[in-house]
Chain A
Amino acid sequence: MKNKIILIAFLLVALPTFAADSQWVLKQSTLTYHVSHKLHESEGVSHAARGKGVCHDGQCDFLIAVAVKSFDSGDSNRDLHMVQVTRGAEFPLVTVRTRLAESVAASATINADLEIQFAGQTAQYKQVPFKVETQGGETHITGNIPATLTDFKIDPPSLLTMPVKNDIPVRVDMTWHQQ
């Protein structure tokens, strides 16, 4: 009898911990790509990313999507070329998937394995470091994704016959809210 009571008590305490799902929702985001050319540097910024994380059994699957067209570099001509060269009309979204342990929200840094689909290609980035700050139920994540044009088989666009550099690092600044 005593054992049964202990078992029931354990289940009552443990089940919500292990079985309950929780979700994360992306509240705000700023994604910035950086392109280098011999004549100048340029950045394109998007605040239009949408994201969701679904947690189950202590693991959270995250999906973030942002429209290629939503990046604004301050030059409409450059933005149209960017959409063309990345085949942004044919593949309108950049999606990022990752799986993280639910406990990492309490960490100061996380290393995430990212699967990014962009320009009709899929690239994997292993152990990308991000800083994590949690305040009042909201988690602020910042970091850089070391993307390159060759990762997505994008021909480097050129200006005055000089191609841009292969590196297109993406600065990530996101605020997530746990529900």
Chain B
Amino acid sequence: MLRNIFGNRPNGVPGLVFLVCLSVAIAPSLMAQTAGMGALTGRIVDASGKAVANATVTATSIDDGQVRSATSGTDGFYKFEGLPPGSYRLKFEAAGLKTSEIPSTTVDGTEMTVPDAKLEAGESVSSKPATAQQDNSPNAPSSSKTEPTLADLGLSPEQTQGNAREQALLDKRTHMLKIHQRMGLITTIPLVATVLLGPGAGGKSEGTAARDLHVALGGLTGDLYGITAYYAIRAPRVPGTKKRGPIKFHEAMAWIHGPGMILTPILGIIAFDQKNNGEKVHGIASAHGPVAIVTAGAFGAALLSVSVKF
């Protein structure tokens, strides 16, 4: 039936519009995904927040073990360029200061800024000079031995130590949900246009231009919706998180607009077939319009639920 229906559709403007719109809509997302080498930049400071110059920064690829090094400038900044995307362990060394490490940071094809590496005073690990200076302001936090520590607060090492793997999981989740959000917004445009053109496409008019445009926009909406849904479904779950708040409504709406986005084009194809055969839209196909409106409504409600505080 699909071949029959699309075989009846005249080639030309609607098809071209469909392809152009699809390319324009998807291209930025695809470009973002296929970007090449990345870069890492950051700053090294001492305990008082002063820049540390001439510190050695070593980036070791967790994926393939490749090692690169860089030296911080007088402003404490360093930069690695041309890094293949992946995870890297960063090690910071400077004369008169303790060595510090960031267990894992992710390079994704863009320039990533690493949080400041703070080197505490301690034994020298390098012969290179450092420009670290102590903060001697009268109200500076005390360096006395009576100063309470995290252990004094009853915090265990597990509570105070970072988890690079979990951070990477969160980074991936946010990255995917950002794409989900943007694609959802982009999808709204052809979705609204498709719904608005619906009455013209299914009316008494014998012309096929409005119907073809409706079909093209509907197809574009379906494709964009598929991409939007993919990034939500594939975004990693964070173990131990109990869902609270508007996200529950947002996900509940997906159980309406998800099946609706499958059912609407199926009913539309049947309606299209009937119209092309010179028949009035009848039977189950007559539900195409109402189902589309409910689907679009649920989609809009899902969008608003996480955007506007009611």
Contacts and interface: CB of A to CB of B under 8 A. Distances in A.
A40 B152 CA distance: 39
Contacts of B115: 87, 90-91, 119-121, 153
B182 interface: yes
B7 interface: no
Interface string B149-182: 1101111000111111011011101100100011
Interface in A130-176: 153, 159-161
Nearest to A23: B148
Contacts of B247: 75-77
Interface in B215-268: 238, 241-247, 250
B142 A92 contact: no
B13 to A, nearest CB: 31
Interface in A87-143: 87-93, 95, 97-99, 113, 115, 119-122, 124, 126
A77 B245 contact: yes
Contact of B170 (A62, A74, A83): A83
B306 interface: yes
Given A61-B141, A120-B115, A39 B307 contact: yes
A119 B181 CA distance: 25
B136 interface: no
Contact of A76 (B139, B177, B245): B245
Contacts of A124: 49
A59 B308 CA distance: 48
A50 B156 CA distance: 12
A82 B160 CA distance: 18
A107 to B, nearest CB: 16
A42 B245 CA distance: 12
Contact of B174 (A39, A75, A81, A113): A81
A54 B148 contact: yes
A161 B182 contact: yes
Interface in B164-204: 164, 166-167, 169-171, 173-174, 177, 181-182, 185
A90 B241 contact: no
A119 B114 CA distance: 11
A85 interface: yes
B163 A97 contact: no
Nearest to B248: A76
A80 B146 contact: no
Nearest to B118: A122
Interface string B22-52: 0000000000000000000000010001000
Interface residues of A, number: 52
Contacts of B250: 77
B111 interface: no
Contacts, number: 139
B150 A74 contact: no
B238 A80 contact: yes
A84 B171 contact: yes
A88 B160 CA distance: 11
Interface in A33-92: 39-42, 50-56, 59, 61-63, 65, 67, 73-78, 80-81, 83-85, 87-92
Contacts of A85: 174
Contacts of B307: 39, 159-160
Given A92-B162, A99-B139, A40 B309 contact: yes
B170 A99 contact: no
Contact of A61 (B148, B159, B162): B148
Contacts of B182: 161
B288 to A, nearest CB: 30
Contacts of B174: 80-81, 84-85
B162 A56 contact: no
A81 B149 CA distance: 29
A80 B144 contact: no
6 contacts: A76-B243, A84-B174, A119-B115, A120-B115, A153-B113, A161-B185
Given A54-B152, A63-B148, A159-B306, 17 more contacts: A41-B309, A52-B152, A54-B146, A74-B245, A76-B241, A76-B243, A80-B170, A83-B170, A84-B170, A89-B164, A89-B167, A92-B159, A92-B161, A113-B139, A113-B140, A121-B115, A121-B116
